[in-house]
C-alpha cells in the first residue's frame, strides 16, 4: 500500500466548499421568496382583526338602537329579554352561532360567529361577554334603561 492509497482509505466523505455555497444560495433564495409571503400574511391578519373589532363596535351600536322603544324585562345567564310597547317580548340570544334579536317571529342578526354569550346584570346596565368561534372574547355593555333627557 502506498502512502497515497493509505490517505484516501482513511479519509471521511465530506462536503466540498462549492456544495456548501450552493446549499447556502438555495436557502437564501427560498428565504427571499418566502419573506414577502409571511409579511403579507401578517398584514392580512392585522387587517382582519381590525375589521372584526370595527364590526363588533357597529353591532354594539346597532344593539343599543334596537333596544330603543323597548323596556327591560329580565336577564338570564345567556339570554336577556325586553318588552315592546304592546307587551310582546323581545329576546336577545345566540341562535345558530348568531347573536340575534327575536321579536314576534322575526330574527334580527346582530353579531356573527358567536359561540355563546354570558350576561351579567349590573346596576344600570347589562355586561355581555361574547365568546366567538375563533376563541376570542369581547365585552359589550348595554344600558338597561336609556338615559332620560334632562331639560
Q: How many angstroms separate the CA atoms of 126 and 141, rounded?
A: 6
Whether pTM exceeds 0.85: no
131 lies in some domain: yes
**Cα-Cα-Cα-Cα dihedral sign, residues 110, 80, 127, 77:** negative
Range of the domain at 125: 46-143
What's the average model confidence in pLDDT over 27-36?
90
Query: 103-115: b or e for each residue (b if 16 or more CB lie within 10 Å)?
Result: beeeeeebbeebe
Stretch 101-107: mean pLDDT: 79
Does 73 map to a domain?
A: yes
**Within a domain: 32:** no
- pLDDT 10s digits, 69-89: 788 888 888 888 888 888 888
Domain annotation covers residue 95: yes
**56 domain-assigned:** yes
pLDDT tens for residues 130-141? 998 888 899 988
Give me the number of domains the chain comprises. Answer: 1
* Alpha-helical runs (H) found in the chain: 3-10, 17-66
Amino acid at each position: 500500500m502506498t502512502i497515497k492509497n493509505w490517505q484516501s482509505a482513511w479519509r471521511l466523505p465530506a462536503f466540498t466548499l462549492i456544495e456548501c455555497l450552493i446549499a447556502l444560495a438555495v436557502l437564501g433564495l427560498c428565504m427571499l421568496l418566502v419573506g414577502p409571503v409571511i409579511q403579507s400574511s401578517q398584514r392580512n391578519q392585522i387587517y382582519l382583526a381590525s375589521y372584526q373589532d370595527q364590526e363588533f363596535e357597529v353591532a354594539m351600536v346597532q344593539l343599543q338602537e334596537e333596544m330603543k322603544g323597548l323596556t327591560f324585562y329580565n336577564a338570564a345567564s345567556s339570554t336577556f329579554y325586553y318588552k315592546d310597547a304592546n307587551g310582546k317580548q323581545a329576546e336577545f340570544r345566540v341562535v345558530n352561532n348568531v347573536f340575534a334579536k327575536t321579536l314576534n317571529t322575526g330574527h334580527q342578526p346582530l353579531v356573527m360567529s358567536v359561540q355563546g354569550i354570558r350576561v351579567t346584570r349590573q346596576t344600570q346596565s347589562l355586561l355581555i361577554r361574547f365568546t366567538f368561534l375563533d376563541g376570542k372574547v369581547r365585552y359589550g355593555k348595554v344600558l338597561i334603561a336609556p338615559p332620560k333627557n334632562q331639560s
